[in-house]
Amino acid sequence: MRKILIGAAAAALTLNLGLAACGQKTEAPEAAGAPQPSTSTVAASLKDNGDLGMLAGVVEASGLRAALEGVGPYTIFAPTDAAFTAAGGAPGEDQPAQGAKLLQAHIVPGAVTRTDINAALDRATNGRVEMRTMDDGVLTFTREGQTLRVTAPDGAAARLTGTESAASNGVIQPVDAVLVKAAGQGQ
């Protein structure tokens, strides 16, 4: 599973992420609005964030923890515990493949801050920015007033919420919904 995620990361890094206008740059930590970097990895930071405990459990159960402790960088659009609860729960330890699939739909290669997304949206002529996920899906970002919204290929949508956090190997962007529709949800 780790080889699949790492392979997908390498492949995704070579693809146009739709943020070419951003140049995948990250702001210096001292820049206004940029999250302060941590010495913890993305995996450890998820575990340390009380509102992302269910996602941390998915990371453990899926077997992808080692990959998310690797070099990176990765950006995880991290469903909060409330988002998982509203969606009917998170995949459990007995569903590692489902957990891995869910994670890959929420991860993009590179360290992408809200400043980066806003800058790309400012330059976008159509008001939309796209990023390719580790499962080769495309997340589409738009703005609703001052709020950033992300929509998955299946139409599942979320708002970036809470405080983004910079880890030693990426960025965690909390979102208020799971970006994969549950079976039976309408398009």
Is residue 59 pLDDT above 70, yes or no?
Answer: yes
Give domain status of residue 69, yes or no: yes
Task: Evaluate whether residue 182 is within a structural domain.
Answer: no
Asked whether residue 159 is domain-assigned, the answer is yes
CATH code of the domain in which 39 resides: 2.30.180.10
The end-to-end CA distance of the chain, in Å, is 30
Q: Are strands 74-79 and 170-175 parallel, antiparallel or unpaired?
A: parallel
Does pLDDT of 7 surpass 50? Answer: no
Q: Is 187 inside any structural domain? A: no
- Average model confidence (pLDDT) for the chain? 82
pLDDT band at 21 (very low <50, low <70, confident <90, very high): very low
What pLDDT score does 92 carry?
Answer: 83
Strands of 74-137 (E only): list them: 74-79, 107-109, 129-132
Tokens of 75: 């950006």
Residue 53 has pLDDT above 60, yes or no: yes
Report the domain count for the chain.
1
The token pair that represents 182 in the structure block:
């549950």
Q: Quick check: 186 pLDDT over 80? A: no
Domain residues for the domain of 155 are 2-175
Average pLDDT over residues 109-134: 97
Q: Which residues contact 91 (CB under 8 A, 6 or more apart)?
A: 58, 61, 62, 98, 99, 102
CA-based R_g, the chain, Å? 15
Contact 84, 91 (CB under 8 A): no
181 falls within a domain = no
pLDDT value of position 42: 92
% of the chain surpassing 90 pLDDT: 64
Read off the pTM.
0.79
- Whether 40 is in a domain gets the answer yes
Residue 185 lies in a domain: no
Q: What average pLDDT does this structure show over 76-100?
A: 93
User: Is the Cβ–Cβ distance between 21 and 149 less than 8 Å?
Assistant: no
The answer to whether the Cα torsion of 25, 29, 30, 36 is positive or negative is positive
pLDDT of residue 142: 98
**Angle at CA of residue 32, ends 169 and 159, nearest 5°:** 65
Are 155 and 187 within 8 A, CB to CB? yes
Residue pLDDT, tens place only, 152-171: 999 999 999 999 999 999 99
Stretch 122-128: mean pLDDT, rounded?
96
Q: Is residue 33 part of a domain?
A: yes
